[in-house]
Amino acid sequence: DAKTTQPTSMDCAEGRAANLPCNHSTISGNEYVYWYRQIHSQGPQYIIHGLKNNETNEMASLIITEDRKSSTLILPHATLRDTAVYYCIVRDPGGATNKLIFGTGTLLAVQP
Amino acid sequence: SAVISQKPSRDICQRGTSLTIQCQVDSQVTMMFWYRQQPGQSLTLIATANQGSEATYESGFVIDKFPISRPNLTFSTLTVSNMSPEDSSIYLCSVENGREAFFGQGTRLTVV
């Protein structure tokens, strides 16, 4: 079973920041937080991952709380092409939870 | 990065028949993963395919129904056997590079 909970859906206005929350209260010390997204009719696409420090790349920023029980994916300037299902996944790459277990995800709808 | 090609991209099959899905990767990888995505649902891992050994199946999936071949480090096949309408799904192949997972575009299967 997925170890994360996410809202089912969210709306965001084009050009504004999209903040997607994820709860992972049972995360263990070696488990990373990964974010993927799936645009309609495509395979999932990696966005970002982190352990405990905040991370930023060309696609997004990942903010992880100090207790690591939740995180937020931030798309700084959402575009219509960012409309997708966003999956927050907890895994330990070298341990027992090294499989990608997809939860239900958040359907982000970017509105013009 | 890794480029994954899946064939066929879609198919409509009669119940009781079998379909073999091919997955080709542009680089050598140790493990290849097969997922199923039922209509309106998230991804579910079917099995992990290692070259030179039997595939490892997840709970709820059996080799007789989903036989997998892994003849070399760049290729794998998944067969959906004795199909029923409940097997109508998107089947995706995936590989990882230690940091992120890469997915094919998927095979959209409709069983009638």
If you count them, how many residues does chain A have?
Answer: 112
Which residues in chain A have their CB less than 8 angstroms from residue B91's CB? none
Q: Is the pLDDT of residue A2 over 70?
A: no
Closest chain A C-alpha to B107 CA, distance in angstroms: 10
Q: Is the pLDDT of residue B58 over 70?
A: yes
Residue A52: phi and psi, rounded to 5, are -145, -20
Instruction: Report how far Cα B41 is from the mean position of its chain's Cα atoms.
Output: 16
Burial class of A4 by CB neighbour count within 10 A (0 to 12, 13 to 18, 19+): buried
At position A5, the amino acid (one-letter code) is: T
Instruction: Report how far Cα B62 is from the mean position of its chain's Cα atoms.
Output: 13
pLDDT for res A41: 85
Mutant choice from A46, A48, A99, A107 vs B, greatest count of B C-beta within 10 A: A46
Which residues in chain B have their CB less than 8 angstroms from residue A42's CB? 105-106
What does the DSSP 8-state code read for residue B55? P
pLDDT for res A1: 66
What does the DSSP 8-state code read for residue A65? -
- The C-alpha R_g of chain B, in whole angstroms, comes to 13
B34 closest CA partner among A99, A39, A2: A99
| Pairwise CB contact (< 8 Å): B33 & A44 | no
Dist CA A10 CA A106 (whole Å): 7
Closest chain A C-alpha to B70 CA, distance in angstroms: 19
- The vertex-B35 CA angle with A35 and B81, nearest 5°, equals 170
pLDDT for res A98: 78
Per the model's pLDDT, the better-predicted residue between B83 and A103 turns out to be B83
Dist CA A30 CA B12 (whole Å): 43
| Pairwise CB contact (< 8 Å): B43 & A104 | no
Which residues in chain A have their CB less than 8 angstroms from residue B105's CB? 41-43
A6 closest CA partner among A79, A74, A82, A70: A70
Instruction: Report how far Cα A92 is from the mean position of its chain's Cα atoms.
Output: 16
For A40-98, what is each residue's pLDDT tens digit?
989 999 999 999 999 999 999 999 999 999 999 999 999 999 999 999 999 877 776 67
Identity of the residue in A85, A100, A103 whose CB atom sits nearest the CB atom of B101: A100
Which residues in chain A have their CB less than 8 angstroms from residue B4's CB? 43
A17 closest CA partner among A61, A68, A81: A61
Q: Residue B82: CA atoms inside 13 Å, Cβ hemisphere, count?
A: 6
| Pairwise CB contact (< 8 Å): B92 & A100 | no
Peptide bond connecting A44 to the previous residue in cis, omega within 30 degrees of 0: no
Q: State mean pLDDT over B19-24.
A: 98
At position B80, the amino acid (one-letter code) is: V
